Amino acid sequence: MAASTEITLRRPDDWHVHLRDGAMLNAVAPITARAFARAIVMPNLVDPVTTAAAAGQYRERILDAVGRDGGFTPLMTCYLTDRTDAEDLCAGHADGVFTAAKLYPAGATTNSASGVTDMARIRPVLEAMQETAMPLLIHGEVTDPEVDVFDREAVFIERVLTPLLADFPALRVVFEHITTADAVAFVRAQGPRVAATVTVHHLLINRTDLFRGGIRPHLYCLPVAKREAHRLALVEAATSGEGCFFLGTDSAPHPVADKESACGCAGIFSAPAALELYAQVFADQGVPERLEAFAALNGPAFYGLPVNEGTVTLKREDWTVPDAVPVAVGGLVRPFMGGEVVGWKVAD
Ligand code: NCD
Ligand code: ZN
């Protein structure tokens, strides 16, 4: 069979993205809205989004940044802390302000200092979420400094996720940006109440790539990329078409100066070529027809939302990812694969 040169799918969604705020929001939100109809917007702003009121205001700022023509719908999340008010959370969910809540173990990643220090502290919140079927989105890494950074996801499964799912047998959970074969196997072994997002960078890079010819700060994110065997397990899972795996870019822009630093921060800005790179992965696996399930069907099915109207077509065509995106005056963000050639392009 000849390799396909065109992929048409329902308009896709990004089930995990960081849009930030202010000048950065204005620069990056239209880039996500270009390719995705909806996105689950992460709440880890410098001042985290912890209340329904704050989420409502943030949603307005996002709509200001992308325009209000109805082409893009931000789906808001609540940043859980030790002090989250279950009532405000559930009221926000019932009102349609919150689609889900995000669990950052305190200290696990960028802007997670006010995250949850101990799962016991959010028991009432988790009970309420289980009751109302509000999805819990989890950054699945332990923060124990004794645990090797490459093992933090696997250890999280054992120490936190397994007991959590046993304690809350109906809680709906998305294991975000999985990076290991352990996580793939774990998610598969659960019922339909557990799903996982897979980023495009974890499908394309392994931990050796972080040191290709020197240290590569723009390939550093959390959870950090793992060994090649894990990357291969992620590719197999994402391209399987199974309903428990769906698209979440974790596109996480940071100013160049914060990445190219003696202590460079975590986060990969993949939005400028994310959909095209996912298409390339599926095409390279010989299953371009499965991109639609991963990018446009499995996520809505898990979240109980309708699939999007309309379609998007990708064509087999080489183009070069821009090597920088300007942010206000003088600022820059460097995209994932900036300056490199991608073999698929969204048709106009
Ligand atoms: C994210 C960020 O920069 O906000 N960074 C990252 O490396 N992925 C936070 C996160 O999702 O862990
Ligand atoms: Zn993230």
Q: What residues contact residue 72 under an 8 Å CB cut-off, 6+ apart?
A: 29, 32, 33, 36, 37, 38, 39, 66
Cα of 67 vs centre of ligand 1, distance in Å, is 25
Q: Provide the CATH number for the domain formed by 6-346 in this structure.
A: 3.20.20.140
Nearest Cα to Cα of residue 179 among 219, 206, 159:
206
**Would you give per-residue pLDDT tens digits along the chain (348 residues)?**
567 899 999 999 999 999 999 999 999 999 999 999 999 999 999 999 999 999 999 999 999 999 998 799 999 999 999 999 999 999 999 999 999 999 999 999 889 999 999 999 999 999 999 999 999 999 999 999 999 999 999 999 999 999 999 999 999 999 999 999 999 999 999 999 999 999 999 999 999 999 999 999 999 999 999 999 999 999 999 999 999 999 999 999 999 999 999 999 999 999 999 999 999 999 999 999 999 999 999 999 999 999 999 999 999 999 999 999 999 877 999 999 999 999 999 998
Residue list, CB under 5 A from ion ligand 2: 250
Looking at ligand 1, which atom is closest to the CA of residue 222?
Answer: 7
Strand partners, 327: 331
Strand partners, 247: 198
| Assigned token pair, 111 | 């802007």
- Report the pLDDT value the prediction gives residue 314, as an integer from 0 to 100: 98
| Assigned token pair, 126 | 């988790």
Phi and psi at residue 191, to the nearest 5°: -80, -175
- Report the pLDDT value the prediction gives residue 1, as an integer from 0 to 100: 54
Beta 136-138 vs 173-175: how paired, if at all? parallel
Looking at ligand 1, which atom is closest to the CA of residue 221?
Answer: 7
Any atom of ligand 1 within 6 Å of the Cβ of 13: no
- Report the pLDDT value the prediction gives residue 4, as an integer from 0 to 100: 85
